[in-house]
Structure 1
Amino acid sequence: MPTYQGPVSDHFNGTHFFDPDGVAPKRLGDVWRWQRTRKPAKWPAWQPSSYADTPPQRVNGTAARFSFVGHASWLIQAGGLNILVDPVWSQRASPFKLLGPKRVNDPGIAFEALPPIDVVLVSHGHYDHLDLATLSRLTTKFSPRVITPLGNDLTMQAFDRKIRAEAFDWGDRIDLGGGVAVNLVATRHWTARGLFDRNKALWASFVLETPAGKIYAVGDSGYGTGAHFRRVREQHGELRLALLPIGAYEPRWFMRDQHMNPDDAVKALSDCGAQQALAHHHGTFQLTDEPIDEPAQGLTTALDAAGVARNTFVALKPGQVFEI
């Protein structure tokens, strides 16, 4: 598999990417310790959502529509464009067809019900965000632009040369047309597809500029000191809405540097200053040890403790829709 080659920067040393404000991923010994000692909550084999969305073909004007597909996958419709974020329609978030985390509910939009997809945003290379089979299906049906951080394009095109992958660095701004643009911003995370390619590609979150306002789409992130979220506020100004992860956080000794829990996510909302937030990264794939319903319940508790109105930060179920 070819790997990214490019100039050294403040977050690339010539072979590996790093976050100057973050921490290195856990060592393999820590992974083994977690696997050896973990006591995961038992998830149901199947917990379907009672919702299913059939989106309109387009959303124009100053409106925006957010459809929760499940886990970290969203359909954003704004400015006449249809944008998928971290689309996963596969049954497993895994390199294997018969092993690894298996979804416990169907995608909130049936693949056949998708409107014409113009753009796909892929935040990083972990299997629950970069799903090659889904990207190939989308390419065959819609041939969208695929915007991703540096190095992930090589993974995509090695699988399917027809995937229209375009790779960018933190700080880059890409015009998508229709008065919509996307900015890649630093996030507190890491990436890998296997045991020997850690951080050989970049990871990012996205700030979308749309006629409905700016939308901050965070794929995966730890909280840290909150600096990443405050920096987005400083650099990009008022945010209309943020998509923030709230799940895959236990045990904290292992996960806190890479995944937020609900308390962290509420602090991140305050730091980034978005008017509204929608939660994700919960309830579809069991990646870590907390119970399936704990993130959504914990979000309510965290909002109450912080004195934030519950309708300011909402956890949807797959197939539910939020409109502005």
Structure 2
Amino acid sequence: MARKRFANLDDVSHTSSFKELQAWRKERKGKVKDRSFFVGQAANKEIDYLNANRTDTTVTWIGHSTFLLQIGGLNILTDPVWANSMAFERRLSPPGLEIDEIPPINVVLISHSHYDHLHLTSLRKLARYHKFKVLVPEGLRSWMQWRGFRDAVELPWWGSVQVGEVIFDFVPAQHWTRRTLFNTNATHWGGWVLRSKAQAAASDSNDAKSRTIYFAGDSGYFRGFGLIGEKYDIGTALMPIGAYEPEWFMGKQHVTPEEAIQAYIDSGAERFIPMHYGSFPLADDTTKEALDRLRAEWSRRELPEHHLKVLLHGETLRVQG
């Protein structure tokens, strides 16, 4: 039986020719980038508070696309990566929290199977200290179970599952997947919307909106952001802003900072927290370039300054508490 292959919402393909790949490599060698700017570490990491918290909704950036989210009494990790290097490139800044500093994890969310989002070594280290359920995109459950993560649940786009008092919805993104030469797009990709059961029941309230979190995963800009905004009342959007350069090569799979802001607007979210920058040099853009472009576009659009939350590694935002 032929293996199922997944596609994007509008059948947009990421496929690049060998000629294009070679052109990028040549272009990359000719660029001189200043990578002296680093994301800092939070001065006061709220480790004791995070370990004791059972009621407040919080967002803590660990680095790259890894967040500790606390909502509905659950402790949740997104795309856990504690690797010191990725794609032969050393990590730019250390993780904001170490595995032995985080509270007991109930749920791990995986957006897709690329190595900088699904890092098996990090998951296995995590499993030494924590017993958790893993929520994954369609096609990835058996892969996870084969590697020892028996409590894995896979969802299709727009699929939903409840864990404790929290509802998790898997939503579309424009991206692709591959871990070997032979499994391109054999598993799906997407983002996650998190809300407590009580919030879902009172979705017209301001409190419910403020506590709903959208983790976008990896994505190029597409109409799906608007569809997500139509379906959910999102308070906080965790949006990627890095790995976009060169745009002619990366554009279908990674938003630019300007496109990330448009995606945030499309989603109807209140707060914007940038991610997917400052940890690994996966493309030609730098941490400073990504943040400068983000802030310039935010200012150009005259968006409320207090709605943009640029976190340090290990910094915690109390969404409601």
Q: Which of 69, 75, 78 in structure 2 is aligned with 1:76?
A: 69
Map residues 209-288 of structure 1 onto 2, 5 A cutoff: 209-210=195-196, 211=199, 213-224=211-222, 227-236=223-232, 238-288=233-283
Superposed displacement of residue 56, structure 1: 1.8
Superposed displacement of residue 135, structure 1: 1.0
Contact 1:116 1:142 in 2 (8 A): yes
AA at the equivalent of 1:258: Q
Gaps of at least 5 residues in structure 2 are 200-207
- Post-superposition Cα deviations, 1:13-32, rounded to whole Å, max 9, x if no partner, equal 95210013251112241223
Secondary structure, aligned partner of 1:82: strand
Question: Which piece of structure 1 moves more, 238-247 or 146-155?
Answer: 146-155
Q: Which of 302, 309, 319 in structure 1 is aligned with 2:314?
A: 319
In structure 2, what is the Cα distance between the partners aligned to 1:295 and 1:22? 28
The answer as to 2:126 corresponding to 1:128 is no
In structure 1, what is the Cα distance between the partners aligned to 2:23 and 2:231? 39
Superposed displacement of residue 277, structure 1: 1.3
Which residue of structure 1 aligns with residue 15 of structure 2? 26
Q: Which of 43, 46, 60 in structure 2 is aligned with 1:67?
A: 60
In structure 2, what is the Cα distance between the partners aligned to 1:235 and 1:250? 31
AA at the equivalent of 1:182: F
Which residue of structure 1 aligns with residue 152 of structure 2? 165
Contact 2:38 2:287 in 1 (8 A): no
Contact 2:9 2:172 in 1 (8 A): no
Gaps of at least 5 residues in structure 1 are 6-12, 95-99
- Post-superposition Cα deviations, 1:226-281, rounded to whole Å, max 9, x if no partner, equal x1111011122x11111011111100001111111111011111100001111000
Which residue of structure 2 aligns with residue 8 of structure 1? none
Which residue of structure 2 aligns with residue 155 of structure 1? 143
Which residue of structure 1 aligns with residue 98 of structure 2? 110
Superposed displacement of residue 162, structure 1: 3.8
CA 1:122–1:306 in structure 2 vs 1: closer, same or farther (change >3 Å)?
A: same
In structure 2, what is the Cα distance between the partners aligned to 1:122 and 1:41? 34
Superposed displacement of residue 47, structure 1: 4.0
AA at the equivalent of 1:120: V
Contact 1:48 1:105 in 2 (8 A): yes
TM-score by length of 2: 0.88
In structure 2, what is the Cα distance between the partners aligned to 1:50 and 1:167? 34
AA at the equivalent of 1:51: A
Q: Which of 75, 80, 83 in structure 2 is aligned with 1:90?
A: 83
Secondary structure, aligned partner of 2:58: strand
Superposed displacement of residue 49, structure 1: 2.4
The answer as to 2:186 corresponding to 1:200 is yes
Superposed displacement of residue 308, structure 1: 0.5
CA 1:181–1:254 in structure 2 vs 1: closer, same or farther (change >3 Å)?
A: same
CA 1:48–1:21 in structure 2 vs 1: closer, same or farther (change >3 Å)?
A: closer
Superposed displacement of residue 44, structure 1: 4.3
AA at the equivalent of 2:218: D
Superposed displacement of residue 284, structure 1: 0.7
In structure 2, what is the Cα distance between the partners aligned to 1:162 and 1:279? 29
Question: Which piece of structure 1 moves more, 161-170 or 191-200?
Answer: 161-170
- Post-superposition Cα deviations, 1:5-64, rounded to whole Å, max 9, x if no partner, equal 8xxxxxxx9521001325111224122321232245546489462326325225334x31
In structure 2, what is the Cα distance between the partners aligned to 1:315 and 1:22? 33
Q: Percent identity?
A: 33
Q: Which of 50, 53, 73 in structure 2 is aligned with 1:56?
A: 50
